[in-house]
Amino acid sequence: MQITVLAGGVGGARFVRGLLRTPAVADDPGSTVTVVGNTGDDITLVGLRVCPDLDTLLYTLGGGVDEEQGWGRAGDTREVKAELDALGVGPSWFGLGDRDLGTHLARTRWLGQGLSLSEVTDRLARRWGLPERQVRLLPATDTPIETHVVVDDEDGGERALHFQEWWVRHGARLPARRFTVAGLADAAPAPGVLEAIRSADVVLLPPSNPVVSIGIILGVPGVREALRGTRAPVVGVSPLLGGRPVRGHADACLAPLGVEVSAAGVAGLYADFLGGWLVDDADADATFPPRLPVRALDLLMRDEAGAARIAGAALDLAAELSPAVPVGDR
């Protein structure tokens, strides 16, 4: 089975890790999970290109993630960061682990040698053994894009922050007026992205942020059309449980869009291509778009088994929706 997933960082990575444990993938060596990763929150720090979501996917799927934190390398140290702080170089609020920095240094070096972000990501994926784990990781686009958050300034006007500054430094507490993504309108989907959506047996949307993660991927020209046009069922998992995100700040991202902060509100963002929607038991009785197949279950990913359970439910719903999706081996 060919499964394509559009993913952000921690939630997306954990969902995919669960997906790899479902029988549909684990028991079928021919199955491949193609993960299209968000690149909108990429940032250049101290001259190094950092791709937070791709790195979280690499480390989580490769078995090297800091489980408690959800991102970064397990047991990483911060010696380089301490020296940069002593020198007053780079933002103090961005955590840069030492092993993690090895990734950024290599990526920056390879990009500087003329490799595309796709090619760089492929090298990193091999270092983390992703092909052997049936995973293909693609950036949404090789075009550098950058999400900015427009907030109020002190004079009653507005100012734009890099998404990471808003998210990490300010904890998404500065009310966002809107999000803008530099470069997005002219970005090209990375090689293989549209094909992975069009030729998939199933397309899954994990409980990633619908605005600044999946929303960015959807904004890459051609991606939304590919989702509308694919014969694969597109099944999503709500990132909001009882109107609240499990982690992250999806609520702070939905508000400025005028979208209801709820599982139904998020479903509305995907209405033009969504084939099925998984919501938490807490949202079972909410009102969803008419004719949208909705299934309620416990959506809390407490551990890998929990993530596998939710991913399996998504595949089940996909099989219900499409005769082409194999049933019974999930």
Binding residues for a second copy, how many (CB under 8 A)?
Answer: 31
Q: Smaller CB distance to a second copy: residue 44 or 180?
A: 44
> Contact, 140 vs 116, CB < 8 A?
no
Window 91-110: residues binding a second copy (CB under 8 A): 97-103, 105-106, 108-110
Neighbours of 181 (CB within 10 A): 18
120 part of the interface to a second copy, by CB under 8 A: no
From 28-36, 43-51, 137-145, 286-294, give the range in contact with a second copy by CB under 8 A.
43-51
Among 26, 46, 246, 297, binds a second copy (CB under 8 A): 46
Task: Give the Cα separation of 75 and 308 in Å (integer).
Answer: 25
- Asked whether position 86 contacts a second copy by CB under 8 A, the answer is yes
Of positions 95, 112, 229, 289, contacts a second copy by CB under 8 A: 112
124 in contact with a second copy (CB under 8 A): yes
What's the min distance (Å) between Cβ of 120 and a second copy? 11
> Please, which residues have CB within 8 angstroms of residue 283's CB and are 6 or more apart in sequence?
238, 240, 241, 242, 243, 262, 263, 264, 296
CA-closest candidate to residue 324, choices 267, 272, 275: 275
The residue among 212, 119, 96, 95 whose CA lies nearest residue 163 is 212
Nearest distance from C-beta of residue 330 to a second copy, angstroms: 35
Instruction: Mark residues 52-81: x for contact with a second copy by CB under 8 A, - for none.
Output: ------------------------xx-xxx
- Binding of a second copy at residue 317 (CB under 8 A)? no
Count CB-CB contacts under 10 A for residue 258. Answer: 7
- Which is nearer to a second copy, 106 or 168 (by Cβ)? 106
Residue 180 interacts with a second copy (CB under 8 A)?
Answer: no
Tokens of 81: 């960061």
Q: Is 152 in the site for a second copy (CB under 8 A)?
A: no
C-beta closer to a second copy: residue 98 or 251: 98
The footprint of a second copy on residues 127-146 (CB under 8 A) is 127
Minimum distance from residue 52 beta carbon to a second copy (Å): 17
In whole angstroms, what is the distance from residue 127 CA to residue 324 CA?
34
Residue with Cβ nearer a second copy (32 or 118): 118
- Quote the strand ranges of 170-306, DSSP E: 176-182, 202-205, 234-237, 240-241, 244-245, 276-280, 294-297
Cα atoms in the 13 Å half-sphere on the side-chain side of 256: 20
3-class secondary structure, 192? coil
Binding footprint of a second copy on the chain (CB under 8 A): 46-48, 76-77, 79-84, 86-87, 89-90, 97-103, 105-106, 108-110, 112, 123-124, 127
